[in-house]
Chains A and B, each alone.
Chain A
Amino acid sequence: MQIESPIRQPLILGNKSYAQITDEIVRPIEGRANKMWYLVFTIAALCALWGLGLIAYTFGTGIGVWGLNKTVGWAWDITNFVWWVGIGHAGTLISAILLLFRQKWRMAINRSAEAMTIFAVICAAMFPGIHVGRVWVVYWFFPVPNQFGSLWVNFNSPLLWDLFAISTYFSVSLGFWYVGLIPDFATVRDRQIVPFMKRIYKIVSFGWSGTTKSWQRFEEVSLVLAGLSTPLVLSVHTIVSFDFATSVIPGWHTTIFPPYFVAGAIFSGFAMVATLLIIMRKVLNLEEYITVNHLESMNKIIVVTGSIVGVAYITELVIAWYSGVQYEHYAFLNRATGPYAWAYWIMMSCNVISPQLFWFRGIRRSLVGTFLLSIVVNIGMWFERFVIIVTSLHRDYLPSSWTMFYPTWVDVGIFVGTLGIFFTLFLLFARTFPVIAIAETKSILKSSGDGWKRKTKEKYARIGEEAEAH
């Protein structure tokens, strides 16, 4: 048995037994949803339907229903794409990077964070798909033999790299998530009385029995998948940033983009995890598993990545000045003082200034403070992508084609629709899946559970007293 220092805060509060952990995590699946759940679910599902309707409208009428024009050919949709992909990154960071670093606090939050990753990537992947306009030929994205003889996709293009990055990221995250879910589905299966439920969970648990060899393989597979996902998650946002960085547009053509985008992605992803978990722990009565200590750890990551993002903003400005290129000079001057200055300053205040409040312990450990700041961060990160994309495009090398970009109601509606899809999927997840990794949580009960920690502490105090007596 692993002994943890008594000074470390317990990760599972209350004097829990293994059976209690199962009961408390599985209860939301077996019980009935309350009115609040149905209300929120209805709103989310209506938003999702609204968004899907507008996507259908876009397909039927054409991309002209969006606010794009010949100067700004890429704005709202790619902003949403980058924003959603970025949000997804926290899930992989929690489940993969924190696994490699043996951070036990990940165990209470990794399941829902990974679910968030998958749903966010689904929302993200919709945008490039619908921007092609002619969705019926979307398979041209892929290197498939086609009617043009042997014309293939261009592997020198960052946009194609992005396709491979997002597809790999989505499918590997899904696999990683499911591998972890199988033993927990088996736990749900073995306690069902209703035949229908038992049958469903028997199918999804793939016949898991928890033999020693399967656990041995399970742990190895989790470790290797974490090792594969870690460079994968870093590569995904790196490649997303290449979409911009490899072009010759002022404000985009910078080598700082990959680390800056990755830090921003983790920053916004953790903020979204915090937003979701603060609500989820309350609604599903999981406050003893997802504790204030967990939120504080996440807030520490938010303040670090937020500061990295802040340094990146300032570095960009300094390098633009130092480059001596007049176009670069103007791109950044235009960002901070041009017609989109309001967006730039929203970005600066939400991403750089407000997260610094997390240096105060009181704010870091306050639920209301964390919740509000997590929303502020996500607004800020959305504006970051908007600022980078739109301000660099709307005033290009040719002043005669300078213009402004304004979203149409269809643009806004599709974005609201993806929020609806995301929350619909997350709410369904919260009702049907074990939202906390049951097996993993049990495995740390004896080292990090409150009751056990107290017992070990008493034991050591006794040993100390005996030693003194001798």
Chain B
Amino acid sequence: MSKKTILAKFTDPDECLHAAEALVKGGVKIREVYSPFPIHGIDPVLGLSKTRISTAAFFYGGAGLSLALLMMWYMNVQDWPMDIGGKPSFSLATNLPAFIPVAFEITVLIAAHGMIGTYFFRTRLAPGIQPMNPEPRSTNDLFVMEIVLQDNPKQEATALKNQLLELGALECTDDELRYED
């Protein structure tokens, strides 16, 4: 079943932010805001919590570091210890100074790619995925607020539209939700 939505289009990020604040204060639930660039400060208004992706990066980095040390220990100390120029590889601890550069590089490698991968996965980014922004100009110059009528049973559609226009929206159009969550 399709859900009816109202798309309120703003031309200015600050107007969009102030409108969102006013609406949320009045008890309206905003489903989504599509914008051509980040609107700073709108995330808490829409009830979004802080992203935890940097924590994930930290753990990827830790995994990379452990993996790198394990690999170098296994290859150069355990499996085939080499004695080059009278400097044998006795143990991980004695060889650690020489292992630092590669350990660092692999830490960065795994942290960066792990985080990018998580970001793509969580944000649903991959080649061939259907974009779900309802208004093509939302990647150009419009800040589009999407309000699902079902989310707001107490609001009356026309009154809501008038309120949005008063708050500075360029226009309000009717639409249907393009995706199911």
Contacts and interface: CB of A to CB of B under 8 A. Distances in A.
Is chain B found bound to chain A in the same assembly? yes
Interface in A144-195: 150-156, 158, 160-161, 164-165, 167-168, 171-172, 175-176, 179, 182-183, 186-187, 189-191
B125 A182 contact: yes
Contact of B115 (A182, A224, A239, A439): A224
A76 B71 CA distance: 34
A217 B48 contact: no
Given A160-B102, A191-B140, A225 B38 contact: no
B38 A218 contact: yes
Contacts of B36: 18, 22, 183, 187, 210, 438-439, 442
A34 interface: no
Contacts of B112: 171-172, 175-176, 225, 228-229
Nearest to A235: B104
Interface stretch (A64-72, A200-208, A312-320): A200-208
B22 interface: no
A39 interface: no
B109 interface: yes
Contact of A221 (B72, B109, B115, B133): B115
Tell me which of A154, A168, A175 has the highest count of chain B C-beta atoms within 10 A of its own C-beta.
A168
A282 interface: no
Interface of B: 11, 13-14, 32-39, 42-43, 46, 48, 50-51, 53-54, 57, 71-72, 75-76, 79-80, 82, 84, 87, 89, 95, 98-99, 101-102, 104-106, 108-109, 111-113, 115-116, 119-120, 122-133, 136-141
Contacts of B34: 209-211
Contacts of A446: 13-14
18 contacts: A1-B13, A18-B140, A22-B140, A152-B79, A161-B105, A164-B101, A167-B109, A171-B113, A186-B139, A190-B133, A191-B140, A207-B124, A207-B130, A213-B123, A221-B116, A228-B57, A229-B112, A440-B37
Contact of A150 (B37, B80, B109, B122): B80
A61 interface: no
B76 A152 contact: yes
Secondary structure of the A side of the interface?
helix
B32 A217 contact: no
A219 interface: yes
B76 A155 contact: yes
**Interchain residue pairs A-B with the least CB separation, the first 3:** A207-B129, A18-B141, A152-B75
B65 to A, nearest CB: 13
Number of chain A interface residues as a range: 35 or more
Tell me which of B42, B50, B108, B139 has the highest count of chain A C-beta atoms within 10 A of its own C-beta.
B139
Contacts of B87: 156
Contacts of A152: 75-76, 79-80
Tell me which of A150, A207, A242 has the highest count of chain B C-beta atoms within 10 A of its own C-beta.
A207
Contact of A156 (B53, B84, B124, B130): B84
Given A161-B105, A213-B51, A217-B51, 10 more contacts: A1-B14, A155-B99, A183-B36, A190-B138, A207-B128, A212-B35, A216-B48, A221-B115, A231-B104, A235-B104
Contact of A216 (B43, B95, B132): B43
B127 A17 contact: no
A73 interface: no
A19 interface: yes
A239 B101 contact: yes
A215 interface: yes
A220 interface: yes
A367 interface: no
B38 A190 contact: no
A143 interface: yes
A235 B115 CA distance: 20
Tell me which of B79, B80, B102 has the highest count of chain A C-beta atoms within 10 A of its own C-beta.
B102
Interface string A106-147: 000000000000000000000000000000000000010000
